Chain A
Amino acid sequence: MQAAPRAMTEQPLMTAIDAALRQAIALDAPLDQRLGLIRDAVGALSAEFATAVDRLVARLEAGGAGAAAPAPGQPMPPFVLPDEAGRLVAMPRLLAAGPLVVNFHRGHWCPYCRLHRAALAETAPAITAAGASLVIITPERGRYGARMRAEAEDRFPVLTDMDNGYAMSLNLAIWLGAELQAMLGGAGWDLAAYQGNPAWMLPVPATFVVGTDGLVVARHVDPDYRRRMAVEDLLAALG
């Protein structure tokens, strides 16, 4: 493993990202603008890290990562996954009550995912009004899901997808690569401990809106994890 760049090994990085995150959460603007605040903060803190991320994203985009995930009109394969309290959540049971929004997140440590969750929380009343439910799937073990849920102001369950098995079955798993593994590890983000395996794999962040018939109504799958489904698109898909 290569040595982590100096800027990434220092605690201030996380503190600065937290500050940018709080600012982004408070900002009343479209989601992509709020995500941009975090992107700018990361870029200002470590150009080296931002460049490595650009390289990863370019590689994933060139390879069409996530493109073969279920598309609108196709069936969403059902899942049974444990939530943060160790209760099993089954997709068919959720669909029996109404449409479902399935989000794949990278983990409790990812500022983009944390902001995305905050933005989803703001739409919770509209999601409930549409008779829909929403789940967040991460490859992290239950304790981190519990941490995410405690931090958030919503009631969305965080489901654990061990070893990215469900994500991989949807063609959504990616490998971070040695460079980013060294950088993230150097910054104190121990994905191996969070996930309970040494693979350093992640899901491509994605949002699927699934109808009660089990078919995908809309999806946002983007190997550039700094972009997420616009809140307006999500609500439009729920009708």
Chain B
Amino acid sequence: MEMHQIRYFLALARTLNFTRAAAECNVTQPALTRAVQALEGELGGELVRRERQLTHLTELGKQMLPLIQRCYDSASAARDLARSMTTREAAPLAVAVSHSVNLALFMPAVAEVFRAHAGVQLKLMRGGGAEVLKLLKEGDIDLAIAGPLDEPWERLDSWPLFSERFELTVHADHPLAGANTVGAERLADQKIFFQAGCESRTEVMRRLGVHAFAEPAGHQVVTQHDLIALLEANLGVALVPASAARGASLRRVRLDDAGLQRTVSIYGVAGRQRSAPCTTFLNLLRSAEWNAAA
């Protein structure tokens, strides 16, 4: 496939009109038609059918459209990256990371981006799942890392990085510290902290089925850092994702329900142009093996 061929095909798929697609791409209609035909030849079938006034995508065309769009977007990002390397201009790495995600996991990747892009300007935001999503939607940031975002927005792109279980964190002096695993029934009379804004909060609570289980009224802990401080003071126990930071005086206890888990993904916005450092960061994270790390 050639870049101009897929660009013309994408314009045609969008407009379903040869004249308009050619105008959009700044080429003559015969040139556009020839290029699309060449693409059809390479893919081994018709992509677009013209019946009287009605132009429409064939089954193959519909099947290939999202694949070709993704490939074109990646290639455009690669071209932008190549261009920015010659101009060496400043470019942002604008990322939001959910409070429920341990930032330390991504520092090696950030360091790599710093090393590779001299002009990188880091914009690092934190927030709960909903806040991170809002930042992404409003264009404050280009990429977000969070647990499952329950969001029907069709422009939201997501790439799963790893899955992990929720665990119980307790102080070493806590009676549960020596347990191998614990079930929901042993949590009933515990003072349980759970990060506010954690994307999986509702689901984990529902699954544990502890209606009585609730943080003491008025307690709300937002960051993992604060949660660890509370547990270091042995003020209760906490449900945390396995990759959360660990405190020196704290112990982890497995929950016997293996279904208490979540998937951490990196999110972006389809069709929005990304800076070179953002493209590199996204590719670095998607290429990496996370399950070993988490």
Partners in one complex: yes
> Residues of A with Cβ closer than 8 Å to B?
59-60, 62-65, 68, 77-82, 86-88, 90, 92, 141-143, 146, 160, 162-166, 168-169, 171, 173-175, 177, 196-199, 201
- The one of B2, B276, B286 in contact with A162, judged by C-beta atoms closer than 8 angstroms, is B286
Q: How far, in whole Å, are A180 and B293 apart by their CA atoms in the complex?
A: 34
Which one of B41, B43, B71, B77 has the greatest number of beta carbons of chain A within 10 Å? B71
Query: What are the nearest 5 A-B pairs in CB distance?
Result: A165-B74, A63-B42, A168-B75, A160-B287, A163-B74
Query: Which residue from chain B places its CB closest to the CB of A168 in the assembled complex?
Result: B75
Best-surrounded residue of B1, B2, B85, B113 (most CB of chain A within 10 A): B1
Mostly, the B contact residues are helix
B39, B74, B115, B287: which contacts A142 (Cβ < 8 A)? Answer: B287
What's the least CB distance linking B39 to chain A, in Å? 8
CB of B280 within 8 A of chain A?
yes
B113:A88 contact, CB within 8 angstroms: yes
Pair A92/B1 contact, Cβ less than 8 Å? no
Q: Contacts of A62 on B, CB cut-off 8 Å?
A: 41-42
Q: Contact at B112–A169, with CB atoms within 8 Å?
A: no
Q: Chain B contacts of A90 at CB under 8 A?
A: 85, 116
Interface bin, chain B = 35 or more
Known contacts A78-B82, A80-B81: does B1 contact A175 (CB below 8 Å)? yes
CA distance A199 to B65 in the complex (A): 11
- For residue B67, give the distance in angstroms from its CB to the closest CB of chain A: 4
Given A62-B41, A168-B78, A177-B44, check contact A82 B112 (CB 8 Å): yes
| A79, B42: Cβ atoms closer than 8 Å | no
- Residues in A neighbouring B159, C-beta threshold 8 A: 196
Q: How far is the CA of A106 from the CA of B144 in the complex (A)?
A: 30
Interface residues of B (CB under 8 A from A): 1-3, 6, 38-39, 41-44, 64, 67, 70-79, 81-82, 85-86, 108-109, 112-113, 115-117, 159, 276, 280, 282-284, 286-289
B97 to chain A, nearest CB (A): 18
CB-CB under 8 A for A199 and B2, given A141-B289, A168-B74: no
Would you call B112 and A88 a contact (CB within 8 A)? yes
Chain A contacts of B109 at CB under 8 A?
Answer: 86
Known A62-B41, A165-B75; 5 more pairs at CB < 8 Å: A82-B283, A86-B288, A88-B116, A168-B78, A198-B67
Chain A nearest Cβ from B278, distance in angstroms: 12
Do residues A79 and B82 form an inter-chain contact, with CB atoms below 8 A? Answer: yes
Give Cα A108–Cα B69 distance, bound, in whole angstroms.
Answer: 26
Q: Judging by beta carbons under 8 Å apart, are A68 and B67 in contact?
A: no
Report 22 cross-chain contacts, Cβ distance below 8 Å, ordered by A residue: A64-B38, A80-B276, A80-B280, A82-B283, A86-B112, A86-B288, A88-B115, A88-B284, A92-B85, A141-B288, A141-B289, A146-B289, A162-B282, A166-B75, A168-B1, A169-B78, A169-B82, A173-B1, A173-B75, A175-B67, A198-B67, A201-B71
